[in-house]
Amino acid sequence: MLNDTRIRNARRTSKPRKLTDSAGLYLEVRPTGAKLWRYRYRIEGKENVFVIGEYPEIGLSEARSERDNARKLVKEGIHPRNARKAILAAKIHENKNTFQAVAGEWMEQHKPKWTPAYLRQVDKFISINVFPFIGALPVRSVTSAHLLEIIKRVEKRAPTVAFLIRQWISGIFRYAVATLRADGDPTTALKGAISRPKVEHHKPLETVEIPKLLRKLETYRGYRSTAIALKLLLLTFVRPVELRGAEWSEFDLVACEWRIPAERMKMREPHIVPLSLQAMKLLRELKTINGDNRFLFPNVRRPKAYMSATTLNRAIEYIGFSGKFSAHGFRSTASTVLNEQGYRSDVIERQLAHAPRDKVRASYNQAQYLPERKQMMKDWAKYIDALVAGASVVPIKRKVG
């Protein structure tokens, strides 16, 4: 039996020599001075040698432990070196399946279902807040403790983002489990670690505020196209991102229709926006400003891109509505007034391009209720004009007895 002193004092000779321990384990001292742990065993009557490792990186007790593990494999008829190769191959495979790689696959899988803007948001937040900490780790080795540290770090500055990141990471792990690269979702242990932030719905404009805002826009000192964009949001009540990314090819100025393709819509379905005479007038003016560009609202600094997300809200702040209203609030403004005036909720919801609540309604196409929607949009534009003209109470839908 070997001991540490004998191993340490073993001197090299001109030929390799063996220092025997027990149960097939021995230390081979090479002429170079290297000391290698080896395990001799037999399978099917044939002698084989398994190299455990080099001393002193592997000490005596560790070498004996590795020998014991190898003996168990030999009893099952398995060559230890084959088992080692299999483990190494599994580790290499696992190392290729990093969290970042799996997350990239997950995003690619959802790409057809998401709007480009939402895809950019997910990619940006995960790239900044998650990848620097666990992106290079094999997805199977990421723990709840890793994720808790990340989420708590984000929660300090942006609670809503932290909540979204936890949801997205959970989606990534569910995908990893489904593709046999993870055993479970470690975010399940974090339920309750952060609470869902209170949702602040986009505030609608009070009726008396609508003409004030429009008059302010007439004296707005920024780009005229920005003022036109805000007016078009009021007249069309599309989502700001749908307006900012609008292309001239989507507009039929003869039929007075704007057809937004599915890939630019939140619900991934094409959407028709009937255009009132007031909206058409603004579009013709805009045509003289940006008609040579692909986009109605090109980015001032990057003409090949469209208007940034902050431009509209900054303009709203500039004209004195800071904290009172946001660009997205034009939708809730129109919805509130039109519902109060007695328009059918289905017509309003269809024009807002909201998701249908059941399968029957989901089967309707983008042209559903189009005649009613065209009339509603005309009435809405006239209602806005009347408010600006000074009317205090403006019914926009005649009740039918």
Which amino acids are annotated catalytic? Answer: 239, 266, 328, 331, 354, 364
For the chain, the farthest-separated pair of C-alpha atoms sits apart, in whole angstroms, at: 114
Instruction: Write down the number of H helices and E strands in the chain.
Output: 17, 7
What is the C-alpha to C-alpha distance for residues 362 and 355, in angstroms, rounded to an integer?
8
> Dihedral sign, CA of 382, 387, 389, 393?
positive
What do you get for the CA distance between the two ends of the chain, in Å?
A: 107
8 Å CB contact between 187 and 171: no
Tell me the CB-side half-sphere exposure of residue 326, using CA atoms within 13 A.
Answer: 11
DSSP 354-397: PPPSSHHHHTS-TTTTHHHHHHHHHHHHHHHHHHHHT-S----S
Q: Is 290 helix (H, G, I), strand (E, B) or coil?
A: helix
Strand-pair partners of 35 = 29, 55
Strand-pair partners of 48 = 41
What is the C-alpha to C-alpha distance for residues 103 and 107, in angstroms, rounded to an integer?
6
